Amino acid sequence: MQIIKLRDEYIKLGQALKAAGLVESGVEAKIVITEGEVKVNGQTETQRGKKLHGGDVVSYNGEEIKIEE
């Protein structure tokens, strides 16, 4: 599980996927999110701009990212 430390109040889902290196670009992030391949806290999420806060867990392609404050 990768950890992303928040620098601000939140990070957007697409940015988190890029920061963790799970996608190459914002375009790729948009595609995998809109196709329903990404889960946030166990729920499928289709909004690229979904705000993630401390404690949220993102799952994609067998990898997990935990957001920490």
19-62 pLDDT, tens digit per residue, is: 999 999 999 999 999 999 999 999 999 999 999 999 999 999 99
The Cα 9–Cα 46 span in angstroms is: 21
What's the confidence (pLDDT) of residue 40? 98
What's the confidence (pLDDT) of residue 58? 97
Q: List the structure tokens of 52.
A: 């993630």
Beta bridge partners of 65: 2, 58
Q: What's the distance, Cα to Cα, between the start and end of the chain in Å?
A: 16
What's the confidence (pLDDT) of residue 55? 97
- Three-state DSSP at 61 gives coil
CB 14 within 8 A of CB 26: yes
What's the confidence (pLDDT) of residue 66? 97
Q: How many residues are recorded in the chain?
A: 69
What does pTM read for this prediction?
0.92
- Three-state DSSP at 48 gives coil
Out of 3.40.50.460, 3.10.290.10, 3.30.1280.10, 3.60.10.10, which CATH number does the structure's domain 2-68 have?
3.10.290.10
What's the confidence (pLDDT) of residue 54? 96
